[in-house]
């Protein structure tokens, strides 16, 4: 029978050999410090390492934190006997020593570290099976009011212990809306935006939440989980705006004065005030208890109400909730005396006003609060100056301030103006205001002309418009420079055409008669003009204008020969452009002021289209008209008097030509660069545009397109794109490398319809960078390379012959010059 120890060693040896642990260096080696990571929970009797003994060592010894788990065989085979548990011990510190045959240590001991690696073998656990908390209504969303906590015994440095919190149930659930949220990592529970708005302890004073926690970050199907219950009590929000505050203005109490307060739901909030209106002087403050103070006296007349905000923030400067609006109204006290509307209030009264007539209203102002006793004022007259013809001529209504005439009518001749002192009083103050009453003259005098007849005045009918032809004068005994004495002159007879007008000099009341429209001998040779002088102010009752306010003169207009006058500056007519020659297209009319006969003629008929009947002014066509050549067609018409001075005048005649469909369609431009790259890889297309010279209809051009020949249909196709554009397409790819002429038939669809045939040159050519290219040798008129070389050599040969001839000729001329020079030196006389 084999002993138990040897049997165990034999099993380990077989396992060691079978798993390849005998490989040198990886799973076996000399004795030295080493670290081995091992996952917890693995099956027992797992081999860790095979240490090799160096003589004289014959066996090994294991000590340290073995926990009766780690063993070593005499031959150095290190293993463990049961599954490891990281939560019991995460690191085992062992020592291995090599012993000789007598048991003495010959090497070591060396440290061997076993690091137990974590596996997810522990579920997370909440620290409490039930949590309780409270939250204020309207609390800030996202700010936690309660934390739930769970632990996991797995390694916190691994996903095994990464916890993920989640609210799985909310009771009650109102309209399927979550009022609560949880931070997935921290477990902090807070309100959602909807919860901050909707939570109301009067409706639902409490809520129950079921919160789950998962390990593995909640991302694995194999995660462990736990749940807990959370009871939340909703409490009333005390962060509320206080009632509006009333403060008496100009308080003499020591400042600052507490006027109201705000409180956040929890202690520790930091309070501040925000001025809504950004006043330079903001007389309020708040302390860190939430008490609000006014820091100085307020003045209602400066500002009668204040609106500002109270803000609560946490220790990080974040707002805890929405700001609260604070209203402060400043109560009035009677601290302002009445004020006069102006240093002197001026009123006017006519000298014939009846007793009790209103002269005007004195309106004083009090800056204290309106419609209160503090601003209610009364009026009384304190003094009248002068007291002529008696005192007490005026009354003032006690509450309204209306001034009235009290005792008798006034006369300007006696006293032109009065000064009153009026006392304006409120319940505590009195102010004296100055009032001046001017007595104004009444219009009881009519204008009187200095003479009733200004005689005869003779003028030529061509006297310039705007000329002053006469000065007239009337006087008025009323007060100068008032509406009662100002004079306006009107022509009431003899000028129905309104050719004359009268301007009044405001300083002298002189009337200047001026010409407003041209005079006309033929219609008004003699005019008896009657003037009336009036005041802009109505006359008093019982007084009327009489014959002294009227004057006349006779205007005699002398004749001047004038040019004929057209009835219009511009005559217009409209005909169709295809009217027959000789058709009447319009007429003009003119007359001579002196009644002379008139003859008409045309000027500027550059196209020779028109003629005019010299007597009747009728205009006729004498040549075909063409709208496309020019419409409207403009000429001048000359009217010349027959006899006399042969004066003439000119008017315009504009003839508008309506269109007829008389122009066949054509291509909108010259298409010379259309090409396809040869050879075609697929059928292609080109776009072209048509037009014509006729006037387009309101619906625009509507051309139709087709091939002009049936022979083209095997190679080409034409399709309409819109009313002006069409597409020319190839039907196949087997075209030769040359130019094709494609004839297109275009119909304009007019009334009557016109047609045209146009040609589109399309080239099939080799392409370089998508551009048409032809080698020089393939182009007509371009020499080949051999021809070009021959031409170049011939040109050089001709140049050489020319240069040789010139050189020889120059050499002969030089020899001849030398001979002549020699002969000349032989006959040249000597000079003494």
Pairwise CA distance, residues 100 & 452, whole Å: 167
CA distances from 186 to 124, 151, 182, 507, 731 (A): 14, 12, 8, 97, 74
Confidence of residue 806 (pLDDT cuts 50, 70, 90): low
Question: Can you tell me which residue has the tokens 């309101």?
Answer: 698
CA-closest candidate to residue 659, choices 689, 702, 693: 693
User: What tokens were used for 732?
Assistant: 């196949």
CA-closest candidate to residue 133, choices 149, 150, 145: 145
User: What tokens were used for 464?
Assistant: 């310039």
pLDDT at residue number 15? 44
The reply to whether 448-558 shares the fold of 344-440 is yes
Q: Is the pLDDT of residue 4 over 70?
A: no
**Which tens digit of pLDDT belongs to each residue from 450-487?**
999 999 999 988 899 999 999 999 999 888 888 888 99
Contacts of 829 (CB under 8 A, 6+ apart): none
DSSP state of 827: H
Domain locations along the chain? 28-117, 125-235, 245-331, 344-440, 448-558, 565-658, 666-772
Burial class of residue 510 (count of CB atoms within 10 Å of its CB; 0-12, 13-18, 19+): middle
What percentage of the chain carries pLDDT values higher than 90? 61
**Which tens digit of pLDDT belongs to each residue from 133-171?**
999 888 889 989 999 999 999 999 899 999 999 999 999
Q: Is the pLDDT of residue 361 over 90?
A: yes
**Which tens digit of pLDDT belongs to each residue from 280-290?**
789 999 999 99
Region 246-262 average pLDDT: 94
Which residues sit opposite 639 in a β-bridge? 600, 649
pLDDT at residue number 827? 31
Across the beta sheet with 188-191, the strand order is 146-147, 188-191, 180-182
**Which tens digit of pLDDT belongs to each residue from 722-762?**
988 999 999 998 999 999 999 999 988 777 888 889 999 99
Q: Is the pLDDT of residue 819 over 70?
A: no
**Which tens digit of pLDDT belongs to each residue from 202-242?**
999 999 999 999 999 988 888 999 999 999 999 998 888 99
Pairwise CA distance, residues 633 & 610, whole Å: 10
Residue 65 contacts residue 88 (beta carbons within 8 Å)? no
Kindly report the average pLDDT of the chain as a whole number: 87
Q: Is the pLDDT of residue 9 over 60?
A: no
CA-closest candidate to residue 142, choices 205, 186, 200: 186
User: What CATH number does domain 448-558 carry, 2.60.40.10, 2.60.40.60, 3.30.930.10, 2.40.50.140?
Assistant: 2.60.40.60
Regarding the domain delimited by 565-658, which CATH topology (the fold level of the hierarchy) does it fall under? Answer: Immunoglobulin-like (2.60.40)
Contacts of 789 (CB under 8 A, 6+ apart): none
Residue 554 CA, chain-centre distance (Å), reads 70
Confidence of residue 7 (pLDDT cuts 50, 70, 90): very low
Residue 554 contacts residue 528 (beta carbons within 8 Å)? yes
**Which tens digit of pLDDT belongs to each residue from 505-561?**
999 999 999 999 999 888 898 999 999 999 998 888 889 999 999 999 999 998 887
**Which tens digit of pLDDT belongs to each residue from 650-666?**
999 999 988 787 778 88
Question: Can you tell me which residue has the tokens 């309660």?
Answer: 146
Q: Is the pLDDT of residue 782 over 80?
A: no
pLDDT at residue number 775? 54
Confidence of residue 20 (pLDDT cuts 50, 70, 90): very low
User: What tokens were used for 682?
Assistant: 């697929």
Among 295-299, 606-610, 786-790, the range scoring the smallest mean pLDDT is 786-790
Residue 223 contacts residue 169 (beta carbons within 8 Å)? no
Question: Can you tell me which residue has the tokens 């009590």?
Answer: 233
Homologous superfamily of domain range 125-235? Cadherins (2.60.40.60)
Task: Answer whether the bond into residue 679 is a cis peptide, omega within 30°.
Answer: yes
Question: Can you tell me which residue has the tokens 């129905």?
Answer: 496
Pairwise CA distance, residues 408 & 160, whole Å: 113
Regarding the domain delimited by 666-772, which CATH topology (the fold level of the hierarchy) does it fall under? Answer: Immunoglobulin-like (2.60.40)
Architecture label for domain 245-331? Sandwich (2.60)
Pairwise CA distance, residues 266 & 268, whole Å: 7
pLDDT at residue number 14? 42
Architecture label for domain 28-117? Sandwich (2.60)
**Which tens digit of pLDDT belongs to each residue from 568-614?**
999 999 998 889 999 999 999 999 887 888 999 999 999 999 999 99
Q: Evaluate whether the domain defined by 344-440 bears CATH number 1.10.3720.10.
A: no
Q: Is the pLDDT of residue 402 over 80?
A: yes
CA distances from 785 to 773, 777, 788, 790 (A): 18, 8, 5, 9
Residue 628 contacts residue 719 (beta carbons within 8 Å)? no
Task: Please give the residue that has the higher pLDDT: either 308 or 673.
Answer: 308
pLDDT at residue number 408? 86
Counting every residue written for the chain, the total comes to 832
């Amino acid at each position: 029978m084999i002993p138990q120890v040897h049997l165990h060693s034999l099993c380990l040896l077989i396992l060691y050999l079978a798993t390849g642990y005998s490989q040198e260096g990886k799973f076996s080696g000399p004795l030295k410090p080493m670290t081995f990571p091992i996952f917890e929970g693995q099956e027992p009797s797992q081999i860790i390492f095979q240490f090799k003994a160096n003589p004289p060592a014959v066996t090994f010894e294991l000590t340290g934190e073995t926990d009766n788990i780690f063993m070593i065989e005499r031959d150095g085979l290190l293993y463990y006997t049961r599954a490891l548990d990281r939560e019991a011990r995460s690191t085992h510190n062992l020592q291995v020593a090599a012993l000789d045959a007598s048991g003495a240590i010959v090497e070591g001991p060396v440290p061997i570290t076993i690091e137990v690696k974590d596996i997810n073998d522990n579920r997370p656990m909440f620290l409490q099976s039930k949590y309780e908390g409270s939250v204020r209504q309207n609390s800030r969303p996202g700010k936690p009011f309660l934390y739930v906590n769970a632990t996991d015994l797995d390694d916190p440095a691994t996903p095994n212990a990464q916890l993920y919190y989640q609210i799985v149930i909310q009771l009650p659930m109102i309209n399927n809306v979550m009022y609560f949220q949880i931070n997935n990592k921290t477990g902090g529970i807070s309100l959602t935006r909807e919860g901050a708005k909707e939570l109301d302890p009067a409706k639902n004073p409490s809520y129950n939440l079921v919160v789950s926690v998962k390990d593995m970050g909640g991302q694995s199907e194999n995660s462990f989980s736990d749940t807990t219950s959370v009871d939340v009590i909703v409490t009333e929000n005390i962060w509320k705006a206080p009632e509006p505050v009333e403060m008496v203005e100009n308080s003499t109490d020591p400042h600052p004065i507490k006027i109201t307060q705000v409180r956040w739901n929890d202690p520790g909030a930091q309070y501040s005030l925000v001025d809504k209106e950004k006043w330079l002087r903001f007389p309020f403050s708040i302390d860190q208890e939430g008490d609000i103070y006014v820091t100085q006296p307020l003045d209602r007349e400066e500002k009668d109400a204040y609106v500002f905000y109270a803000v609560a923030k946490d220790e990080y400067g974040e707002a805890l909730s929405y700001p609260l609006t604070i209203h402060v109204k400043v109560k009035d006290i009677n601290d302002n005396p009445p004020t006069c509307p102006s240093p002197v209030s001026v009123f006017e009264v006519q000298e014939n006003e009846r007793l009790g007539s209103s002269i005007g209203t004195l309106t004083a102002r009090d800056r204290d609060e309106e419609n209160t006793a503090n601003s209610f004022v009364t009026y009384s007259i304190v003094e009248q100056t002068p007291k002529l013809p008696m005192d007490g001529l005026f009354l003032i209504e006690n509450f309204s301030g209306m001034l009235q005439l009290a005792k008798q009518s006034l006369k300007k001749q006696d006293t032109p103006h009065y000064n009153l002192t009026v006392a304006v009083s409120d319940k505590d103050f009195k102010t004296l205001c100055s009032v001046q009453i001017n007595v104004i003259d009444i219009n009881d005098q009519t204008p009187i002309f200095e003479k009733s007849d200004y005689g005869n005045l003779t003028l030529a009918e061509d006297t310039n418009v705007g000329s002053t032809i006469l000065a007239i004068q009337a006087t008025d005994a009323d007060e100068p420079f008032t509406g009662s004495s100002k004079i306006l002159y009107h022509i009431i007879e003899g000028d129905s055409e309104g050719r004359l007008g009268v301007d009044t000099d405001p300083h002298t009341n002189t009337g200047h008669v001026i010409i407003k429209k041209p005079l006309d001998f033929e219609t008004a040779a003699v005019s008896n003009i009657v003037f009336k002088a009036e005041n802009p102010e109505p006359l008093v009752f019982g007084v009327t204008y009489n014959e002294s306010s009227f004057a006349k003169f006779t205007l005699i207009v002398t004749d001047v020969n004038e040019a004929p006058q057209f009835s219009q500056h511009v005559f217009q007519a409209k005909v169709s452009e295809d009217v027959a020659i000789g058709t009447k297209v319009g007429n003009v009319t003119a007359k001579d002021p002196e009644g002379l006969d008139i003859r008409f003629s045309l000027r500027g008929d550059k196209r020779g289209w028109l003629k005019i009947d010299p007597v009747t002014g009728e205009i006729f066509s004498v040549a075909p008209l063409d709208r496309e050549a020019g419409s409207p067609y403009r000429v001048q018409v000359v009217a010349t008097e027959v006899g006399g001075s042969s004066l003439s005048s000119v008017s315009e005649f504009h003839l508008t030509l309506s269109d007829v469909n008389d122009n066949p369609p054509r291509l909108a431009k010259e298409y010379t660069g259309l090409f396809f790259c040869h050879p075609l890889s697929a059928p292609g297309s080109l776009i072209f545009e048509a037009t014509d010279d006729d006037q387009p209809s309101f619906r625009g051009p509507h051309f139709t397109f087709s091939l002009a020949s049936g022979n083209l249909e095997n190679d080409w196709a034409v399709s309409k794109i819109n009313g002006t554009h069409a597409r020319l397409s190839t039907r196949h790819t087997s075209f030769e490398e040359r130019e094709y002429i494609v004839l297109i038939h275009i119909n304009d669809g007019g009334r009557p319809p016109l047609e045209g045939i146009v040609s589109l040159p399309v080239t099939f050519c080799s392409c370089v960078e998508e551009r048409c290219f032809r080698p020089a040798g393939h182009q007509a008129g371009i020499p080949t390379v051999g021809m070009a070389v021959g031409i170049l050599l011939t040109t050089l040969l001709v140049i050489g012959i020319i240069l040789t001839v010139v050189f020889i000729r120059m050499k002969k001329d030089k020899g001849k010059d030398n001979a002549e020079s020699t002969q000349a030196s032989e006959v040249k006389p000597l000079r003494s």
